[in-house]
Amino acid sequence: MTMVWMVLVSLLTTAVASRADESAPQFNRDIRPILSDNCFACHGFDPKHRKGGLRLDVAEGAYGTGKSGEVAIKPGQLEASAVWKRITTEDADEAMPPRDSHKSLSAEQRETLRRWIQAGAPYQRHWAFETPVKAEPPATPELARLPNPIDRFLRARLAREGIGPSPEASREVLIRRVSFDLTGLPPTPDEVARYLADESPGAYERMVERFLHSPRYGEQMARHWLDVARYADTHGLHLDNERSMWPYRDWVVKAFNRNEPFDQFTVEQLAGDLLPEPTQDQLVATGFNRNNVTTSEGGSIDAEFVFRYAVDRTATAVQTWMGLTAGCAVCHDHKFDPLTLKEFYSLYAFFHSAADPAMDGNISLTPPILKLRTPEDDARLAEFDGRVAQSEARLKEAYRAVVYTDPATLASPPPPQDVETIWADDDIPAGWRISASSGSEPSFVTAGAVKPFSGSRALRRQDKGLAQDVIEAGPGPMILPQSARLVAHVYLDPADPPRAIMLQYRTGEWKHRAVWGDEDLIEWGRKGTTERSHQGPLPAAGVWVRLEVEAAALGLNAGDRVNGFALTQHGGTVFWDKVGVKGRVDVTTDPRRSYLAWIGQHEGKDVAAFPEEVRKVFKETTSGKRTAAQEEVLREHFLVRECADTRVVFDPLLSAVASWRKQRAEYDGAIPATLIWKDLDQRRESFVMERGAYDRPGDRVHAGVPAALPALVAQGTNAPTRLDFARWLVDPRHPLTARVTVNRFWQQFFGLGLVKTAGDFGSQGEPPRHPELLDWLAVTFRESGWDVRGLVRLLLNSDAYRQSSRVEPEVLAKDPDNRLLARGPRFRLDAEQLRDNALFVSGLMVDHVGGKGVKPYQPPNIWEPVGFVGSDTRDYRQDSGAALYRRSLYTFFKRTAPPPFMASFDAPNREQACMRRERSNTPLQALQLMNDVQHFEAARALAERMMIEGGATADDRFRFAYRTVLARLPQPVELEEVQRAFERHLIRYRGSPDDARRVVLAGASKPSTHLPAPELAAYTLVANLLLNLDETVTRN
């Protein structure tokens, strides 16, 4: 392994800014962001793009003498520092940052730099690469009484800012906040009542505890992780076909519910396959890195996509666990963070040998996959196996009992006779398949204007262009007799005759065709050969005509096995009936009757249609030189499967075997399966890809980790594995994983992370607002055994979380994003929560955990106008019944056309890992919450609840609605407002009962019939109003 890593920012901590002096700029907090944004692109870590040999990211670079002979930064000496001169000069040629960079420093930034240089220009290693240290929480007498260390850190900072914390929010607000945060749903009125009634100390903590152990906790927590994991139900590129990945989603729910320690959660997802004797769950977990988008677009170049998938998986793992934006280093050394091009590809080497193909095949289960068998499944499959074995034994038994004499060996064999075999008449034989190439489904019609030629039905097809019915044989092919003539009966509609008709036969391929009428119109096969043999003009229309073609004229010989035929036409209306073959049968030479004749036909040949062992014997042996065992192989095959005279004995037994096999296969096929990770047996060699181009491999690299981070110790003697990598991520010495993880959870509950750029802990990211708190949490989390539920409990039990969110204008002006947590967090519900809330409070929600994605209401034409014609997710087929009311976590997610309720409310499209959702506020959201049938039906259902459960008076019913939706009672003014609107709606709908009926019929569920429509309609509009309140759509 190459050990010549870039020497990094080690040994840089020449001085650390004094804590006591808060006014002195700190390098990490105050200086690095300025330098990173304005200088590092040319004077940073990346040597290729470094200008003038100067680097300002490390002290020795900045303090050293540059090519120009100047010293960039002379600690404590402003005038001797070239940097200072350059950022203050008026001379445009000298000024830094240069004009063409479009960067400039503000006066404030210059002032900060000035103070820093004067204070000795102390450097710090980038904070995120230092191992976090668990500082003692501030313990001034005032703070020491706070039980939760989180509050001690936050309050100490608030005290410095001169801002006081907010009082605790009301209990109604708190329970709704906690309930949404831990279950994604509002509390029920009963849960609220229980909490309000509990006046003993610890009531809040007990309430939190109840929600922490709700089975919905896992669903809510999983939702956030699925954004990170870029989970979806389609492949994402090109056809964007369906992908069976939902068992992974269900695994995430389970993992949170059983509070799987986060280190285990990490290892299982990145390397579950490498654990000793991995469990089914551990393998399902490896689906994490099968969630990336894949393609099967025709024309794609495999190498390009193998490369892209590995890059995606590397970048996702690095961003998820290390909070670094590795994507930059795909093409060049990272300009801002210590990640070289070569180091990126060393990480990539961990993921480069995935066994999944470059092309996903447009199938839902692109290998490697895992079948999720339950013990019950095992039992059922064993039962099927038994049935298969039993039916095979019967077949064997019958074979032993059969008595056969080859007619060719008889002293006086029967004379030859003509025989006609029918392949299709009123129907096709059982087990065969008929389909249409295009247009309408195949249709057998009974006598109408045209009487069938034979029996009671004939096959009819009408088309303007090329069209056909294709019939494929079941288990036994049709074997052509001697002097075979292919037969079909046809009737052409005189009012609508075709321009050409064609009979086609398939042996291995479709290349035997007879055509009548225009011989150029149907272009298949080479004209004038057996591939397209012209038989003359179209037969007479208006009568049934028997078509007969010598099989030899189409290149077909006695004994050939026909396994399909097609009845083809160009335009017109055509009826077909009684299709088959006629031939002369001489039992002494007919390979379907005489064993010797059959042997003679195939000996020395390689017949692909036979099973391998039969094929082998024919290929390798000649008569008289076969062993008894070889002879027996042939004889058994002949009698059981080929001989016409034993069909009556063996066909039923064969079909029993086939039927059990089929049932087994169907059962097996219905067992859910999911994409998992496996490495190729033969690992790929990995190379630095020059400029990120898949076809420009440079130096060979080996799996390894960046030098700026702790060394990776491989378990074995060989090169480090993915498992080593995963364990390295959760090693106590790793400075990033715990920080990045606690920060993401903090973000989940407080709205913004302590590091706002949750996906970027590098120098371009924002430094933490409360670095000591972040580190304290990170270490505490790790020391707790990566106890996620424990961490969540810790966050929610803080005073900071429990504060009222009310904000005064002066605090808002000072801290608009609530970074100081002087108030409680208040933000709009997430996409899934908005929909789930409506379903829940209306009583429509169907609480079923897990399973394949469902397709609830969706306006027409979301998928269709964008979908590829051949895609299996082109047409949205809405589900019905319970599936309409499942939690949003279970909604089928098509990446190229996400569900509108997700897309409109800032859900990512899951094409890339997403560390933080935006929270927009748009008119399209307003339209959706007011008018989407899902929401309006929920309003109707809530209105029904108001009328049925809410009490006798309108006021009671409004109170019921407020309790149900907002977990509180309305104030008198609010009641008046609602009442006023209600009365106006009531007058209106009493005057327009038709409109009232239309209102109450919203959605697929039916309203109670005994409720008067005008009243229900008026309550529906009130419910619609309540479901659109700012307070309702906000988790306060």
Partner 1 sequence: MNPLTEYQVQQTRRQFFGHAGVRLGGLALGWLSASGAMRSPRALAASSQGAVHPALPGFPHFPARAKSIIYLHMNGAPSQIDLWDYKPKLKEYFDKDLPDSVRMNQRLSTMTSGQTRFPVAPSRFRFAQHGQCGRWVSELLPHTAKIVDDIALVRSVHTNAINHDPACTFVMTGSEVPGKASIGSWIAYGLGSENSDLPAFVVFTPAFPSTGNGQALYHRLWGSGFLPGRCSGVALRGVGDPVLYLQNPDGVGAADRRVMLDALNRLNQRTYEAFGDPETQTRIAQYEMAFRMQASVPDLTDLSKESASTLSLYGPNVAKSGSFAHSAILARRLVERGVRAVQVLHRGWDQHDNLPTALKNQCEDTDQPTAALIQDLKQRGLLDSTLVVWGGEFGRTVYSQGRLTEENYGRDHHPRNFCMWLAGAGVRGGMVYGDTDDFSYNIVENPVHVNDLNATLLHCLGIDHQRFTYKFQGLDQRLTGVEPSRVVKEVLA
Of residues 249-308, which lie at the interface with partner 1 (CB under 8 A)?
A: 293, 295, 297-302, 308
What DSSP element (H or E) covers 584?
A: strand 564-585
Q: Does 860 bind partner 1 (CB under 8 A)?
A: yes
Report the residue number, 203 or 1029, with the smaller CB distance to partner 1: 1029
One residue of 181, 932, 944, 1015 binding partner 1 per CB under 8 A: 932
Which are the contacts of 681, defined by CB distance < 8 A and separation ≥ 6? none
> For residues 203 and 358, which CB has a smaller minimum distance to partner 1 in the complex?
358
Under the criterion CB under 8 A, does residue 762 sit at the interface with partner 1? yes
CA distance 205 to 213: 12
Other beta carbons within 10 Å of 733: 9
Q: Assess 1001 for contact with partner 1 (CB under 8 A).
A: yes
> With respect to partner 1, which residue has the nearer C-beta, 336 or 351?
336
Specify the stretch interacting with partner 1 by CB under 8 A; choose among 274-282, 482-490, 739-747, 1000-1008.
1000-1008
The whole-angstrom separation of Cα 509 and Cα 503 is 14
Residues 336-395 that bind partner 1 (CB under 8 A): 336-337
Return the residue of 109, 148, 325, 568 that touches partner 1, per CB under 8 A.
Answer: 325
Phi, psi dihedrals of residue 483, rounded to the nearest 5°: 45, 40
Strand 510-517 vs strand 533-534: parallel, antiparallel, or unpaired? parallel
Taking the least distance from each CB to partner 1, the nearer of 226 and 428 is 226
Q: Which of 220, 569, 891, 925 binds partner 1 (CB under 8 A)?
A: 925
- Closer to partner 1 by CB, 319 or 686: give it: 319
User: Counting runs of H as helices and runs of E as strands, what totals does the chain give?
Assistant: 35, 18
Asked if residue 942 lies in contact with residue 1031, where contact means CB atoms within 8 angstroms, the answer is no
Rounded distance between C-alpha atoms, residue 289 and residue 231, angstroms = 10
User: What token pair was written down for 297?
Assistant: 């677009």
Convert residues 828-847 into a mask of x (bound to partner 1 by CB under 8 A) and - (unbound). Answer: x-------------------
Rounded to a whole number of angstroms, the minimum distance from the CB of residue 484 to partner 1 is: 33
Residue with Cβ nearer partner 1 (217 or 893): 893
**162 belongs to the binding site for partner 1 (CB under 8 A):** no
**C-alpha dihedral, 313 to 315 to 317 to 323, nearest 10°:** -170
Determine which residue in the list 258, 451, 700, 984 makes contact with partner 1, applying CB under 8 A: 984
Alpha carbon 728 to its chain centroid, in Å, reads: 27
41 versus 545: smaller Cβ distance to partner 1: 41
* Complex with partner 1: residue 673 or 1021, whichever CB lies closer: 1021
List 557, 623, 715, 921, residue binding partner 1 (CB under 8 A) = 921
Within residues 100-139, the interface with partner 1 by CB under 8 A covers: 100, 102
- How near is the Cβ of 232 to partner 1 at its closest, in Å? 12
Render the burial of 31-50: b for 16+ CB within 10 Å, e for the rest. Answer: bbbbbbbbbbbbbbbbeeeb
Q: Between 504 and 757, whose beta carbon lies closer to partner 1?
A: 757
- Work out the angle at residue 1030's Cα, subtended by the Cα atoms of residues 1025 and 1034, and round it to the nearest 5 degrees: 125
- Applying CB under 8 A, which part among 219-227, 231-239, 660-668, 837-845 lies near partner 1? 231-239
- Do the Cβ atoms of 268 and 225 come closer than 8 Å? no
* Residue 120 · residue 75 · CB < 8 Å: yes
Scanning 2-10, 268-276, 669-677, 866-874 for contacts with partner 1 by CB under 8 A, the matching segment is: 866-874
Helix crossing, 722-729 with 341-351: angle to 10°? 110
- CB-nearer residue toward partner 1: 114 or 332: 332
Q: CB nearer to partner 1: give 632 or 808.
A: 808
Tell me, by CB under 8 A, how many residues bind partner 1.
107
712 contributes a contact to partner 1 by CB under 8 A = no
Q: Is 517 left (phi over 0), alpha (psi -120 to 50) or beta?
A: left
**8 A C-beta contact, residue 314 and residue 351:** yes
**CB 613, min distance to partner 1, A:** 35
Name the phi and psi angles at 828, rounded to 5: -65, 145
- Residue 159 or 930: the one with the smaller Cβ distance to partner 1 is 930
| Residue of 224, 274, 277 whose CA lies nearest to 253 | 224
DSSP alpha helix (H) spans, 323-374: 341-351
User: Please, which residue, 148 or 1036, has the CB nearer to partner 1?
Assistant: 1036
Question: Do residues 328 and 335 make contact, with C-beta atoms less than 8 angstroms apart?
Answer: yes
Among 237, 270, 503, 758, binds partner 1 (CB under 8 A): 237
Residues 792-831 touching partner 1, rule: CB under 8 A, are 805-810, 812, 826-828
Segment near partner 1 (CB under 8 A), from 51-59, 325-333, 372-380, 638-646?
325-333
CB of 1027 to partner 1, least distance (A): 10
CA–CA separation, 721 and 683 (whole Å): 11
The correct pick among 401, 608, 628, 973 for binding partner 1 (CB under 8 A) is 973
CB 1020 within 8 A of CB 1014: no
User: Do 866 and 897 form a contact (C-beta atoms < 8 A)?
Assistant: yes
**Which residue number, 243 or 828, has a Cβ lying nearer to partner 1?**
828
Q: Is 236 in the site for partner 1 (CB under 8 A)?
A: yes
Site string for partner 1, 1011-1030 (x = CB under 8 A): ------x---x--xx--xxx
DSSP sequence for 54-87: ---SSHHHHHSB-TTS-BS--TT-STT-HHHHHH
Close Cβ partners of 910 (under 8 Å, ≥ 6 residues apart): 226, 227, 230, 231, 232, 236, 291, 893, 895, 898
Residues pairing with 419 in the sheet: 583
Select the residue interacting with partner 1 from 12, 207, 239, 478 (CB under 8 A). 239
Output the smallest distance, CB 455 to partner 1, in A: 38
Q: Can residue 453 be called a binding residue for partner 1 (CB under 8 A)?
A: no
Residue 681 is a binding residue for partner 1 (CB under 8 A): no
CB of 1030 to partner 1, least distance (A): 4
Q: Is 328 in the site for partner 1 (CB under 8 A)?
A: yes
Site for partner 1 in 880-919 (CB under 8 A): 895-898, 900, 903-904, 906, 909, 911-912, 918
Closer of 680 and 866 to partner 1 (Cβ): 866
Task: Report the nearest approach of partner 1 to the CB of residue 927 (Å).
Answer: 4
State the angle between helix axes of 954-966 and 1013-1027 in degrees (0 to 180), rounded to the nearest 10. 30
Alpha helices in 720-830 (DSSP H): 722-729, 737-750, 771-783, 788-796, 799-802, 809-814
With CB under 8 A as the contact rule, the residue among 624, 865, 881, 972 that binds partner 1 is 865
Question: Among residues 132, 759, 767, 853, which is the contact residue for partner 1, using CB under 8 A?
Answer: 759
Instruction: Determine which helix (DSSP H) or strand (DSSP E) holds 151, and give its type and residue range.
Output: helix 149-161
Please, what is the minimum distance in Å from the beta carbon of residue 933 to partner 1? 7
Q: Which of residues 76-105 bind partner 1 (CB under 8 A)?
A: 100, 102
Considering only residues 409, 454, 456, 920, which one is a binding residue for partner 1 as defined by CB under 8 A? 920
Say how far apart CA 230 and CA 444 lie, in whole Å.
Answer: 49
- Residue closer to partner 1 (CB basis): 308 or 957: 308
CB 777 within 8 A of CB 742: yes
| 437 vs 931, beta carbon nearer partner 1 | 931
* Residues 501-540 interacting with partner 1 (rule: CB under 8 A): none
